[in-house]
Structure 1
């Protein structure tokens, strides 16, 4: 389940489910500011939940994602910490998890650093406490943490539109945020949520994008690309079967 959530977060982060049966999370993607970020987990169940946090570092190799999980074997290479790493959350209460990034001596600060967290819940009952029969199997979350590069790099990309899907190849040095708009002219409010999407493409990533039903086979999709601090921006439109690149 968490792998599926992670794949979606790289496509359209605002539309990830924010509750998971017994627990909820306030965000599925955070960007650090001065090396700090935070997630808030809410326990909506009638029983306490034990929560454990895992960390994995993500990198892009040949256009695909590579995952390196934090273990005891690579502890000297860790650059991200989460506090608390494990805790118990009482019913109907919320707890903050503080994320801190400390670069290793050999790590470059001119590139984005990307991490995947895993919040794994388990019903918690103290010794002698009655176990409720309403306990459900709780599903965890796998949000993304991006440590932005010190400076935005110029936009460089290739992008194509094939009707039901789009393809974004980020050839630049930092991640790209792409806002996709297939809405008819004049459409406003919540109706726009069905025909717009936000995509985050990591540097070097060749990212396939599965469009929402209301966006598939649109006559035209407007694309707005921007870097983290919006230092570089570019706007264009794509029609089915067409492509566009930063070199045009």
Structure 2
């Protein structure tokens, strides 16, 4: 069975892709652990600083909690490398590790933004500042609910896709109307976090009449095809 594309966009990326991360959506294993792979395609060595921001969904709203030394006792996950040096044309793995041990509560999804912010490694100050502009990535790390309760409603609302996710885990909704003649603005993957309800705009080349949508959970063990139309 064909896997659906993630199609999550990097928070900030460069046109030359000096540093790349292998995925913008990483789902943790049964122990709440995962690994990102960073690649330096640049000709200079990069110094990469990493940080975690926990996303808490409560009453349909998202609260962002940046991890810092001030709230260390409340951390649920940590990174194997908060700071690292990545040489040109090399790769390095950055692990995400759960800290809760046997006290983990996996009854619902846990969400974390992991930022990777590169800058030229220039201890001697020899690089020209004009070529040191760089940007980073902020992929999403998810520890999925162990017992998946997939519960949501999906509809069309004034030309937008409306999803109300009342389950305990995220779902992805995928629309693909691309053809040999239409190759741009014709497909989209939308991620709806558990506990969230909102409208999502659709690409301009999506035909809303009898809209076919495929909905899956994190590992596609749940998969449902639905056909939507605008309510009159």
Give me the TM-score of the superposition, normalised by structure 1: 0.79
C-alpha displacement at 1:227, in angstroms?
2.8
Q: Give the alignment of 1:13-162 within 5 angstroms.
A: 13-14=6-7, 16=9, 20=14, 21=16, 22-34=18-30, 35-103=32-100, 107-127=104-124, 130-132=126-128, 135-153=131-149, 155-162=150-157
Report the structure, 1 or 2, having the larger helix content: 1
C-alpha displacement at 1:233, in angstroms?
3.9
Give the structure 1 partner of residue 205 of structure 2: 214
Q: Secondary structure at the match of 1:119?
A: strand
Which runs of 5 or more structure 1 residues have no equivalent in the other structure? 1-11, 243-248
- Equivalent residue in structure 2 for 1:239, among 205, 229, 232: 229
Superposition RMSD in Å: 2.6
C-alpha displacement at 1:193, in angstroms?
7.2
C-alpha displacement at 1:14, in angstroms?
1.4
Q: Secondary structure at the match of 1:115?
A: strand
Q: Secondary structure at the match of 1:167?
A: strand
Map Cα deviations across residues 44-88 of structure 1 (whole Å, 9 max, x no partner). Answer: 222211100000111112212211110111101112111211011
Deviates more, 1:161-170 or 1:65-74: 161-170
Shift of the 192–150 alpha-carbon distance from structure 1 to 2, 3 Å rule, reads farther
Which runs of 5 or more structure 2 residues have no equivalent in the other structure? none
Q: Give the alignment of 1:161-240 within 5 angstroms.
A: 161-162=156-157, 164-181=159-176, 183=177, 187=179, 194-215=185-206, 217-240=207-230
Q: Is the 8 A contact 2:48 2:116 kept in 1?
A: yes
Give the structure 2 partner of residue 4 of structure 1: none
C-alpha displacement at 1:110, in angstroms?
1.3
Q: In structure 2, how many angstroms separate the alpha carbons of the residues matched to 1:16 and 1:109?
A: 27
Q: Is the 8 A contact 1:170 1:204 kept in 2?
A: yes
Q: Is the 8 A contact 1:178 1:224 kept in 2?
A: yes
C-alpha displacement at 1:96, in angstroms?
1.3
Shift of the 19–73 alpha-carbon distance from structure 1 to 2, 3 Å rule, reads closer
Q: Is the 8 A contact 1:164 1:210 kept in 2?
A: yes
C-alpha displacement at 1:146, in angstroms?
0.5
Q: In structure 2, how many angstroms separate the alpha carbons of the residues matched to 1:15 and 1:233?
A: 19
Q: In structure 1, how many angstroms separate the alpha carbons of the residues matched to 2:170 and 2:102?
A: 23
Q: Secondary structure at the match of 1:14?
A: coil
Give me the TM-score of the superposition, normalised by structure 2: 0.84
